[in-house]
Structure 1
Amino acid sequence: MILNRFEWTVAKRYLLPGRGEAFIALVAGISLVAVALGVAALVVVMSVMNGFRAELLDKIVGLNGHAIIQAYGGRLDNWEQVLKDVRATPGVVKASPLIEQPLLTTFNGRVEAILVRGQTAPDIAAMKSKVISGSMDAITPDSGMVAIGARLAESLGARVGDSITVINPTGRDTPFGTVPRQVAYQVGAIFEVGIYDYDNAFVIMPIADAQTLLLTGDSIGMIEVKTDNADKAAEMLAPLGKKLAGQATITDWKTINAQLFDALAVDRVVTFVVLSLIVLVASFNILSSLIMLVRAKTRDIAIMRTMGASRRSIMKIFLTIGAVIGSLGTGAGLVLGFVFLFYRQNVLNFVQMVTGQQLWDPKIRFLTELPSRSDPVEVIGIVAMALGLSFVFTLFPAFKAASTDPVQVLRYE
């Protein structure tokens, strides 16, 4: 829509109403602010939800792989052959043996439920970037050293160098019954993955030490698999599943975390729809302000029509006014949204300090910090929706102004 000099001059004049039209200007200003707030809210919330899903996926998949091959009964005896078959499967980039078993640990009279993870040396070394105290280099077979999560360390009151006792309830059979197996391990490292459930439960040790603790001999519990495409992990491993039928089951990350990610997807859609109502209400404000402007300028419109202005020119003038209000509001909303996202953690900490409430509880949110990841396509969609609604709600007052009959308006002038 290209405006000539006359149309643009009139549009600029109407965008800045005179003294007698202060109320119209107020309504237009409220419309602009409402559009900005609606766009900002959508950008912030959708980016945070995208970041939450992406961070959660990265941390879960980064620690547990894209799929798990788990033996029936919890023991995979011929795991070396299965491991070779897995590594030979097209699309598989990494496969590692793994032992994972829920147990108990005690320290200074405190007892906590834990999840013992027996991992290979390369997998333990890959955790170095997560260490906040100690060193993963100390976690070697037969060293008696383990790494524990940061939240677990807090719960136990344990630090690097302290000795914790891991209890295996199955233990050994004796003439007096089954005696739980208790093994002392020294804390060699404390790590923080960023997911509360993991940091509150994981105790990582070499796989050989885990086999000794659990009395499983040379067998393992599962094989962790990573592929070159996480979304197609189940399809890539489907041929292998037929080979392992009756011996083990293959579960991909989507199935393991289906409930969590389905809930996130539903919440994401519902949140987008609800917040879109803010932009819708703002568009109604644009409609009402333009209707009032048309009524206030009826005489001016009639005069312009008698001086030769076409209906098309009048319509373009009012469409431009609505588009400018919508565009300014959308632009301001984008700036406000991205500024808020940049300082999101500071804003969250400030609100928590003022209210005295913990708004981001890691026990509930899984992650320790407020994440954010903006999707350019989604941001473009939000902008298109805001501009589209602003344009649609401008059409009626523009048509109304263009249909003004100068004869009827100026009859008694």
Structure 2
Amino acid sequence: MILNRYERMIAKRYLLPTKGEGFIFVVAGFSIGAVALGVAALIIVMSVMNGFRAELFDKITGLNGHAIIQGYEGRLDDWEQIAETARKTPGVINATPLIEQPLMASANGRVEGVLVRGNTPEDIRTNPTLNANVKAGDLRAITPGSGQVAIGARLAEALGAYPGSEIQLISPEGRSTPVGTLPRIVTYTVGAVFEIGVYEYDNAFVIMPMRDAQDLLLLGDQVGMVEVQTSDPDKVDAIIAPLQSIVRGKGIIIDWRQMNSALFEALEVERVAMFVILCIIILVAAFNIASSLIMLVRAKTRDIAILRTMGATRRAMMRIFMTVGVTIGVVGIMVGALLGAIFLFFRQGVVNFVQLVTGQNLWDPSVRFLSELPSKTDPLEVTVIVLVALLLSSIATFFPARRAAATDPVQVLRYE
């Protein structure tokens, strides 16, 4: 929208308060605030939702891979051949054996349910998700035959264990006696404590070398599953499709979407719903802009009539009032983007402050899955939010501007 010199001068004058127009300016200020709050809320909510998905995806697939080939009854025969075939499949980066078994753990007179994971020594040493979140101890101590394990931070708190403590793992697969099967109880030393940031992992995982897990569970040379890492998680279905014929009759293949389908689908539905709901805030702000412009047009009816008699065209009046309304919208968008950025930068501090003031735990990891409020801002989504806010502001501005352009100077100045 190109304005000439006098149009810019008039638009600037209408944007600033003059005597007797303080109320109109206050309404315009509320409009700017409403747009700012709507834009800020959208940016904050969408960034947090994206952060949730990204954090959960990275940590879940970092420990479980993009897909698993799971044997029937928890045992996978010929796993070496299956893993080798998977590694040769186009799009597969790596395939490693894995054992997972729910057991009981005991320490200091406390008993907790745990999920024992048997990984290869190489996987324990090189797994980036695990190695980046060690809080105490050393993963290098977790070697076959060492009798040492790594446990989650919240499990360590529940058992009162720390590096150097002893814990007992209780397996129902024990030796048979005349009075029945006796549980198998094996003592291990805690070699490391990790905190992934996902409550379920930190509260239950006990990680040990593959060989030790096989001995504990009496599996011999068998494993429970093969973990598969792919080059493109979004195309995991197509990548692992050739493995279906090899696994048939021995087990099933489950990708990361199936393992966490309810969680990720709920996040996606909530993300769309929040976008639509928060757009309503911007729509309300757009109505405020329209209200302030309508009041401005009514207050400036005589000025408009005089400008028309001096040669100003209807289009010039349209441009002037469209500029006023769009400027209010743009200022609100800029303020909202700044507020959103500030909130996201200090997001965890804000959460902690609110918890301190209210005395309520707003971020219970057992409910929220993650230990801290995540954030990941998508520039494309921010662009869409800005464009939506600008579009709604422009639409709300159009009708008052059209009313100003339709002013008949003869009717207004007839009795002047």
- Within a 5 Å distance, the mapping from 1:65-214 to structure 2 comes to 65-125=65-125, 126=127, 127-214=130-217
Structure 2 equivalent of residue 24 of structure 1: 24
Q: Following TM superposition, where does structure 1 have runs of at least 4 consecutive aligned residues deviating by more than 3 angstroms? A: none
Distance 1:227 1:199 in 2: 25
Distance 1:90 1:175 in 2: 53
- Is 1:397 matched up with 2:403? no
Which residue, out of 347, 355, 359, partners 1:356?
A: 359
Structure 1 residue 40 displacement after superposition? 0.4
Secondary structure at the aligned position of 1:35 is classed as helix
Structure 1 residue 369 displacement after superposition? 0.7
Distance 1:373 1:81 in 2: 40
Distance 1:189 1:27 in 2: 60
Question: Percent of aligned positions with the same letter in both sequences?
Answer: 63
Structure 2 equivalent of residue 273 of structure 1: 276
Q: Is the 8 A contact 2:119 2:209 kept in 1?
A: yes
Structure 1 residue 242 displacement after superposition? 1.6
Q: Is the 8 A contact 2:102 2:116 kept in 1?
A: yes
Calculate the aligned-residue CA RMSD, in Å: 0.7
Structure 1 residue 77 displacement after superposition? 2.1
Distance 1:75 1:353 in 2: 49
Q: Is the 8 A contact 1:128 1:135 kept in 2?
A: no
Structure 2 equivalent of residue 5 of structure 1: 5
Structure 2 equivalent of residue 53 of structure 1: 53
Structure 2 equivalent of residue 330 of structure 1: 333
Structure 2 equivalent of residue 304 of structure 1: 307
Structure 1 residue 129 displacement after superposition? 2.1
Structure 1 equivalent of residue 410 of structure 2: 407
Distance 2:415 2:40 in 1: 49
Secondary structure at the aligned position of 2:326 is classed as helix
- Is 1:365 matched up with 2:368? yes
Q: Is the 8 A contact 1:234 1:251 kept in 2?
A: no
TM-score by length of 2: 0.98
Distance 1:232 1:295 in 2: 59
Q: Is the 8 A contact 1:322 1:394 kept in 2?
A: yes
Secondary structure at the aligned position of 1:293 is classed as helix
TM-score by length of 1: 0.99
Secondary structure at the aligned position of 2:338 is classed as helix
Which residue, out of 335, 339, 352, partners 2:342?
A: 339
- Aligned pair count? 413
Secondary structure at the aligned position of 2:173 is classed as strand
User: Which residue identity lines up with residue 401 of structure 1 in the other structure?
Assistant: A
User: Which residue identity lines up with residue 336 of structure 1 in the other structure?
Assistant: L
Structure 1 residue 261 displacement after superposition? 0.3
Distance 2:31 2:160 in 1: 55
Distance 2:319 2:394 in 1: 12
Residues 178-225 of structure 1: CA distance to partner in whole angstroms, max 9, x if unpaired?
000000000011011110100000000000000000001110000000
Structure 1 residue 387 displacement after superposition? 0.5
Structure 1 residue 128 displacement after superposition? 2.4
Distance 2:77 2:303 in 1: 90
Residues 294-321 of structure 1: CA distance to partner in whole angstroms, max 9, x if unpaired?
0110000000000110111111000000
Structure 2: any 5+ residue segments left out of the alignment? none
Which residue, out of 222, 227, 230, partners 1:224?
A: 227
